[in-house]
Amino acid sequence: MKIQLEMDEQWGRVYCKNTPCWLWHAIDHDTGDVVAFVLGTREKEVCQKLWNLITSIEAIEIEAVYSDDNWAYHDIIPSKLLKTGKRNTQKIERKHLTFRTRLKRLARKTICYSKSVEMHIIMVSLLINILDFGCQLF
């Protein structure tokens, strides 16, 4: 199956204001569904983990990757696939807004923080599962 992706990163806070934890994720450009996500720092090694996760999915063939002009994408994603700019990243930016609205730990100016990296990973994973895959807890 051929797919076009939107990739971006969003930060949340763990422990305090000085310790960000970045959510790197990729969504299907046509449907807005999350294809893959990883959490970590804002280094290119984390972007490489996300790219490896995406390319390991045998059922998809990537036609294009839309992203912002982050230097990590230029280092990891082949230039023939990468298209930068704000024109084709509206869905992922809207998804960021939904995440920030539903989970205060991802809000820009907040006093809500995760107490541990493990709890932050659990909360973000639950949010994505509930919003994108319809997983119900009760």
pLDDT tens across 17-52, in order?
677 788 899 999 999 889 999 988 888 999 999 999
Residue 138 lies in a domain: no
With vertex at residue 70, the alpha carbon angle to CA 93 and CA 40, rounded to the nearest 5 degrees, is 80
Mean pLDDT, range 54-69, rounded to an integer: 92
Residue 19 lies in a domain: yes
Question: Letter for the amino acid at 55?
Answer: T
Question: Using CB atoms within 10 A of its CB, is residue 73 exposed (0-12), middle (13-18) or buried (19+)?
Answer: buried
Question: Using CB atoms within 10 A of its CB, is residue 59 exposed (0-12), middle (13-18) or buried (19+)?
Answer: exposed
67 pLDDT tier (thresholds 50, 70, 90): very high
pLDDT of 102 higher than 70: yes
Give the pLDDT confidence score for residue 116 in this predicted structure: 80
pLDDT of 11 higher than 90: no
137 pLDDT tier (thresholds 50, 70, 90): low
Task: Look up the CATH number of the domain holding residue 20.
Answer: 3.30.420.10
Residue 103 lies in a domain: yes
pLDDT over 70 percentage in the chain: 90
- As given in the structure block, the two tokens for residue 100 are 């920030």
Q: Domain range spanning residue 49?
A: 2-133
Give the pLDDT confidence score for residue 16 in this predicted structure: 67
pLDDT of 106 higher than 90: no
Residue whose tokens read 């990468």: 82
Q: How many domains does the chain have?
A: 1
